[in-house]
């Protein structure tokens, strides 16, 4: 997020926010305490409170990239030149996933046809949310969000894994 964007929405640059939070002792505060400070003392709106807090935490080494309160989270997406129903069908069953997903660790919890699949990955230790977005009659996007990953290394590994898997998916649907 650029300095211009944050200033346009909050009235302050990143440097100004970091100085304000440093002066408030935010290095020693928890995430919810920083968010509360931004709300109570500066009237920052909900989305921007989170953005300023996370960016501050990352800049001060209090939080790593992709780190959230319950582990790490990554997202990978691909746009595919097929109707949404075809893209969803490629995920729908274990048999259809086996055509492009080398490891079948997905345990589906809920599914809404042509919209989303939610589940666990590999023994219910991490979570997956797969979203399907129409981009026209013959083009669709899939977004895989993998959360509750235990480490930054695991998040990097899974980001690469899902990138390659979605590339294989796209190639399999072109045939």
CA 51, 53, 54, 57: dihedral to nearest 10 degrees? 150
- State yes or no: pLDDT of 168 exceeds 90: yes
Global model pTM greater than 0.85: no
**What is the Cα–Cα distance from 49 to 65, expressed in whole angstroms?**
17
1-49 pLDDT tens trace: 788 989 999 999 999 999 999 999 999 998 899 999 999 999 999 999 9
Architecture of the domain whose range is 68-174: 2-Layer Sandwich (3.30)
Tokens of 129: 């949310």
The number of C-alpha atoms within 13 Å of 61 and in the hemisphere containing its C-beta is 0
- State yes or no: pLDDT of 65 exceeds 80: no
For residue 70, what pLDDT band results from cuts at 50, 70 and 90?
A: confident
Domains in the chain: boundaries: 3-63, 68-174
User: Residue 76, Cβ neighbours under 10 Å: how many?
Assistant: 19
75-107 pLDDT tens trace: 999 999 999 999 999 999 889 999 999 887 888
């Amino acid at each position: 997020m650029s300095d211009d964007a944050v200033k346009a929405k909050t009235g302050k640059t990143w440097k100004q926010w970091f100085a304000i939070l440093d002066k408030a002792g935010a290095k020693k505060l928890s995430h919810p305490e920083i968010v509360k400070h931004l709300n109570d003392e500066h009237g920052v709106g909900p989305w921007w409170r989170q953005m300023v807090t996370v960016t501050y935490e990352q800049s001060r080494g209090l939080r790593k990239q992709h780190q959230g309160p319950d582990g790490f989270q990554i997202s990978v997406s691909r746009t595919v030149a097929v109707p949404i129903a075809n893209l969803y069908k490629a995920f729908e069953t274990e048999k259809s996933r086996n055509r492009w997903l080398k490891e079948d660790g997905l345990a589906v919890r809920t599914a809404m046809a042509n919209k989303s699949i939610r589940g666990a990955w590999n023994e219910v230790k991490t979570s997956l949310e797969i979203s399907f977005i129409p981009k026209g009659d013959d083009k669709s996007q899939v977004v895989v969000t993998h959360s509750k990953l235990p480490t930054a290394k695991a998040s990097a590994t899974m980001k690469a894994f899902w990138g390659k898997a979605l590339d294989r998916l796209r190639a399999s649907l072109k045939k």
